[in-house]
């Protein structure tokens, strides 16, 4: 079986195989590298990647929301937190550590 499938697939492009499989009601999608993903019209239309302004590196392409719901559409509108971005809030406001304790943790390289 493997030899037959291999022989058949070598004769067609990934796009041709995908179209043929999908036209027969089969879920099919080619394996894509990053360049393929960025140039794919379907992924572009679905905003698979979104351009986000990152505070440390500037413009950054990140994964968007891979699914769509009619009542609760998701969105990506900010980057992931930077290392230690929420340390003070978590350690002081939620855990009640003193400013002196936070300073010591930073000096000891426990937190950043």
**Strand positions, DSSP E, the chain:** 49-54, 58-63
Asked if residue 26 and residue 14 are part of one domain, the reply reads yes
Total domain count for the chain?
A: 3
Asked if residue 71 and residue 111 are part of one domain, the reply reads no
Asked if residue 41 and residue 74 are part of one domain, the reply reads yes
33-82 confidence digits (pLDDT tens): 989 988 889 888 888 888 999 999 999 988 888 888 888 888 888 898 99
Asked if residue 37 and residue 75 are part of one domain, the reply reads yes
CA gap 27, 15 in Å, rounded: 13
- Residue for token digits 């002196």? 100
Asked if residue 27 and residue 45 are part of one domain, the reply reads no
Asked if residue 67 and residue 43 are part of one domain, the reply reads yes
Domain limits at 47? 32-80
Asked if residue 38 and residue 76 are part of one domain, the reply reads yes
CA gap 96, 112 in Å, rounded: 18
pTM listed for this prediction: 0.55
């Amino acid at each position: 079986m493997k030899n037959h499938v291999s022989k058949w697939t070598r004769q067609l492009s990934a796009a041709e195989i995908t179209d043929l499989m999908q036209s027969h009601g089969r879920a099919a999608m080619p394996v894509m590298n990053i360049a393929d993903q960025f140039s794919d019209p379907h992924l572009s239309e679905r905003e698979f990647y979104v351009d986000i302004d990152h505070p440390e590196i500037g413009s950054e392409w990140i994964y968007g929301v891979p699914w769509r719901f009619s009542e609760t559409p998701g969105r990506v509108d900010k980057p992931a937190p930077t290392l230690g971005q929420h340390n003070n809030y978590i350690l002081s406001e939620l855990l009640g550590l003193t400013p002196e304790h936070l300073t010591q943790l930073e000096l000891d390289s426990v937190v950043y």
